[in-house]
Homo-oligomer: A and B are copies of this chain.
Amino acid sequence: MRKGVLEYCILCILARKEAYASAIIEELKAANMIVVEGTLYPLLIREKNQGYLTYRWEESPQGPPRKYYVITEKGKALLQEMDAAWNEIVTTIETLKK
């Protein structure tokens, strides 16, 4: 059921601070949402291709360089839309539960 909410979660995370894929996975896990790399990488690439995200390379203190993703203005606009959509869904469920 988490399907579709994932994209929203990613934008929420990146709206607060830029991050690289493995860090995003960790943060989601801490928030109780399990995501694997095979899901996340294509998603990030899609978002980047659509102009919602951009990225820059940064050296890692240990291991290969990291790809830090950054949310764009367009991405912030999308996030606002998704905030609204999310609230609507929550309201819908509440309505059906009453």
Contacts and interface: CB of A to CB of B under 8 A. Distances in A.
A9 B97 CA distance: 9
A93 B93 CA distance: 15
Decide if the interface of chain A is mainly helix, strand, loop or mixed.
helix
Contacts of A91: 32
Contacts of A92: 9, 28, 31-33
A23 interface: no
Contacts of A88: 32
A97 B8 CA distance: 11
Interface of A: 1-5, 7-9, 12-13, 27-28, 31-33, 82, 85-86, 88-93, 95-97
